[in-house]
Structures are given as C-alpha cells and as structure tokens.
Amino acid sequence: MGPSGGGRGQPDDAPPRTGKEPRGTATPPPGPARPEFWRSPLRGPWLTSVFGLVLLFGITVLFVTGLLSYAAYNPDLAAVNDQTPDKGWLGFYLFPWPTSPYWLYRLTQGVHVTLGIVLVPVLLAKLWSVIPKLFEWPPVRSAGHALERLSLLLLVGGAGFEFATGILNVQLHYIFPGSFYTLHFYGAWVFIGAFVVHVAFRLPRALRAVRARSGEPAAGTPDAVGLVSPRPAAPTISRRGALAMVGLGSLALLVVTAGQSIGGWWRRTALLAPHGRDPGSGPNGFQINKTAASVGIRPSDVGPAWRLTVRGPGRQVDLTYEQLLAMTQHESALPIACVEGWSTPDQRWGGVRLTDLAALVGLGVNTPEVLVESVQRGGSFRSAVLSDQQVRDSRSLLAVRVNGAVLSADHGYPARAVVAGAPGVHNTKWVTRLTFGEPV
C-alpha cells in the first residue's frame, strides 16, 4: 500500500492531465507531492474523522486532567510547590486543591497518564491518515493557507511534544532541559490553542463525514479534501479492520498500563510500569518512588539524633522519636498517588494529626498552612507547603506507621506526611521540620 516506487519519468507516475486543473496550480514534482503517490485505499474523510473525533474527546479529557494535576500542586501557596515559575496568567484557573474526595488525585492523574498512553495508536493512525496533506502542492497557496498550515504545524508539533514529554517522564527518562513540568505545562497551552482552532474549522466537516457514511467517496474517486487516493492499490484490510487494529493497539496499551493505577493483583499486568511489578510483601510492600539510598539519606540522619522540629509564630518545640510516639496516634486510610500515574490502593497509616502538632506550638482551631521539610539535602521534592485546609483535615497525618508496622526506610522512616487528596509528591518522606504559619 506504500508508494508505487516507480522511477522518475515513468508515465504511470504522472497525473492524468485533463486540462481542467485550476489555474496557477503548478505540476507537483514527482514523489509524495503527487496525490497518486499515496496508494492506500483506506484513506478518506470517514476514517480520518473517526480518529479525529476520538482524539477530540480524549485530548479534551487529557487537557482538563492535566490542568487539574497542576492545580493539585497548590502552586500559588509557595515557591517550593511550583515547578513552573512564571506561569503568569496561565495560572488564572488555579484553586485550592480539596482534600475530599481523598482519592480525587489518584483518579484524575491515573486517567491523565493512562489515557495519554492509550491514545498513542489513535494519534499515529490519525497522522498516517492525513499524511498526503503534509506534502500538499503547492506548499503555500495564499496568506490564509499559510496561516492554516502554520497552525497545523503547531498542532502536530504540539501533540508530538506533549505525548513525548509525558511518556518520557512517566518512563522516568528525565532528559529534559529544565523542568518537565514547565515544558509540559507551556507546551499544553500552545498545543491546545492550535487544537481549538483546528476543531473549530474541522468539526462540522468531520461530523458530516462520519454521519454520511454512504456518501464516502470510493477509493479512486478523489474527494474535495484530498485524502482519497486517486490511484489506490488493492486493499489488504477494510477500513473497519484498520479501525479495529488501532482499537486493539489501544486496548493492549490499556492492559499493560492501567494496573499501575489500579494496584493489587492488576499491578502484575502493568508491564509498562517503570517502578516494577513487584513492590515486595508485608505491611511496607507497596510502590516506592525514591528509595532512601537514592536520595542520599544516611542512617545517622534518621537515627537516635533525629528530631522533629515544630515551629509556630514565636515558638519552637523539638521532639524525639519517642516523644512523637507518645502523642495521641490516629489512623487514616489513604493512597499514594504519583504524578507519574501509578498509585497504591489505600494504605492504613498511623501517626499524629497535623493539627495536634500545630497545637504544640500554640495554634488553635484556625491552623494555618505548613512547610514540611525532609532531612533530605537536595532535590526538588525535599519539601512542600500544605494548605490550611489540608492541615485541618483530620485524615492528614505525620505518619510513623503503615499497615500496622513501623515505616520502612524507603517509605520515609522515621516520619512522613500523608495528606488526603494530595499528589504523592506532597507526602514528604523523612520529615524533620514543620513550620506553621510563616509565609515562605
């Protein structure tokens, strides 16, 4: 179904001249600029429109869940939370991330990452279906046409950029110049701008093409849009067959991805999950993002010399591990839900309420926000600011136990934050200092 491969000057390759070509249409050079170079009998407005409508729905969901993901970082609270400084007015929509439902981020981010992976075959198929248009001749017909082609460049380039950066990040290939968040966030706005323009111009035509299936031009009958091959090769698969093939590709990706967000038995099917499918067993047997060793936590940092420093306006209290254990202990069932799409089912955490720690430094019912810091020396995830409503939620703990056992070194021993509804990155591990109510 590929190009005919015919050599230069083969009479077959030249479009039949009818003498009715629009004036000013230069004869395209031999090769992909000629419509008859593209021989798949599958290409046509119907197939392109079906893929297009799937992407319209899917990319809308990706965009919304992506914006939510950024909001979940509470970037307006503090510079340490914001991975995209200078967001400017692009942060217009931000709102304080709620603590209920406590599984909200697990859901929105699981959908964002899983859907992004599942849509890859559809995106590739859509691009394949319109590739003759890339070589359109003449490349530019008018100022309007030039503008349209430029917007398509932003559309295709933007899609490629967003999918590539997202997939590289969830596969832990941190090869970006600068922060992934910054690139993915700004890239999303550029892409969505081009996407909205594209949809505005093409949606009516796509809906018509999908509805009027009987009106689909047969292969060999060039359509107005220029997708149908004027010299089709014999079909090797039907259009529906091609659709099924792409669908099966997406389904296969779903099966090897979704397990990392569902957890439990399903994690075994998550062949694409970079954190491995075997998180170990026992009470601490669930996914680990960064191990203690990988971020340079030394045994002496978390040994007998460890202290929890709690600061409030004008007050400071230092607690030993034993003093922390002597405070009233509470339990809450919360998941870890990482920006990379993987998450754990609810874990049973045990520890001290953040409000009780605030009370140690004289803070009452209106507990303010808190800066949580780790013994970890470097790295962007060593600290986070939690909002006042996150602190006040009775499920938010400084946890010392999980599933009935002491925290393992890799899950944040001696103490870590667990916060209802918050992204994993705000569940700081190896905590050593809490600073309540001071602007940071």
Residues that bind ligand MTE (CB under 6 A): 287-290, 295, 336, 338, 374, 376, 379, 381-382, 411-412, 424-425, 427-430
Q: Which is nearer to ligand MTE, 277 or 382 (CB)?
A: 382
Contact partner at residue 161 from ligand MTE, Mo ion, none, CB < 5 to 8 Å by partner kind: none
- List, in sequence order, every residue forming a beta bridge with 385; answer none if it has no partner: 371
Contact partner at residue 290 from ligand MTE, Mo ion, none, CB < 5 to 8 Å by partner kind: ligand MTE
Query: What phi, psi does 27 have (nearest 5°)?
Result: -70, 125
Contact partner at residue 330 from ligand MTE, Mo ion, none, CB < 5 to 8 Å by partner kind: none
Contact partner at residue 371 from ligand MTE, Mo ion, none, CB < 5 to 8 Å by partner kind: none
Query: What phi, psi does 41 have (nearest 5°)?
Result: -75, 0
Q: Which is nearer to ligand MTE, 220 or 296 (CB)?
A: 296
Q: How many CB atoms lie within 10 A of CB 76?
A: 14
Q: Which of 169, 42, 153 is nearest to 117 (CA)?
A: 169
Rounded to an integer, what distance in angstroms lies between the CA atom of residue 107 and that of residue 68?
Answer: 11
Q: Cβ 13 to ligand MTE, closest distance in Å?
A: 56
Q: Which is nearer to ligand MTE, 167 or 233 (CB)?
A: 167
Query: By beta-carbon distance, which residue lies closest to ligand MTE?
Result: 424
**Residue 177 CA to chain centroid, in angstroms?**
18
List Cβ neighbours of 113 (8 Å cut-off, separation of 6 or more): 166, 170, 257, 261, 340, 341
Rounded to an integer, what distance in angstroms lies between the CA atom of residue 81 and that of residue 91?
Answer: 14
Q: Which is nearer to Mo ion, 131 or 272 (CB)?
A: 272
Q: Which is nearer to ligand MTE, 181 or 191 (CB)?
A: 181
Q: Dihedral sign, CA of 248, 252, 257, 259?
A: positive
Q: Cβ 315 to ligand MTE, closest distance in Å?
A: 25
Contact partner at residue 376 from ligand MTE, Mo ion, none, CB < 5 to 8 Å by partner kind: ligand MTE
Rounded to an integer, what distance in angstroms lies between the CA atom of residue 225 and that of residue 229?
Answer: 11
Rounded to an integer, what distance in angstroms lies between the CA atom of residue 304 and that of residue 168?
Answer: 40
Contact partner at residue 379 from Mo ion, ligand MTE, none, CB < 5 to 8 Å by partner kind: ligand MTE
Name the one residue in this structure whose structure tokens are 């929509």: 93
Q: Which is nearer to Mo ion, 56 or 168 (CB)?
A: 168
Tell me the HSE value of 272 on the side-chain side, using a 13 A CA sphere.
21
Q: Cβ 317 to ligand MTE, closest distance in Å?
A: 22
Q: Count H helices, E strands: the chain? A: 11, 10
Q: Cβ 290 to Mo ion, closest distance in Å?
A: 9
Q: Which is nearer to Mo ion, 121 or 424 (CB)?
A: 424
Contact partner at residue 427 from ligand MTE, Mo ion, none, CB < 5 to 8 Å by partner kind: ligand MTE
Q: Cβ 248 to ligand MTE, closest distance in Å?
A: 32
Rounded to an integer, what distance in angstroms lies between the CA atom of residue 154 and that of residue 191?
Answer: 6
Q: Cβ 334 to Mo ion, closest distance in Å?
A: 14
Rounded to an integer, what distance in angstroms lies between the CA atom of residue 68 and that of residue 226?
Answer: 39
Q: Does residue 274 have a cis peptide bond before it, meaning omega lies within 30 degrees of 0?
A: no
Q: Which is nearer to ligand MTE, 84 or 374 (CB)?
A: 374
Residues near Mo ion (CB under 5 A) are 289, 338, 424-425
Contact partner at residue 411 from ligand MTE, Mo ion, none, CB < 5 to 8 Å by partner kind: ligand MTE
Query: What phi, psi does 347 have (nearest 5°)?
Result: -110, 150
Decide: helix, strand or coil at residue 240: helix
Q: Cβ 301 to ligand MTE, closest distance in Å?
A: 11
Q: Cβ 282 to Mo ion, closest distance in Å?
A: 22
Q: Cβ 387 to ligand MTE, closest distance in Å?
A: 17
SS3 percent helix, strand, coil of the chain, rounded to 5, is: 45, 10, 45
Q: Which is nearer to Mo ion, 51 or 342 (CB)?
A: 342
> What six digits make up the tokens of 115?
């859907």
Contact partner at residue 99 from ligand MTE, Mo ion, none, CB < 5 to 8 Å by partner kind: none
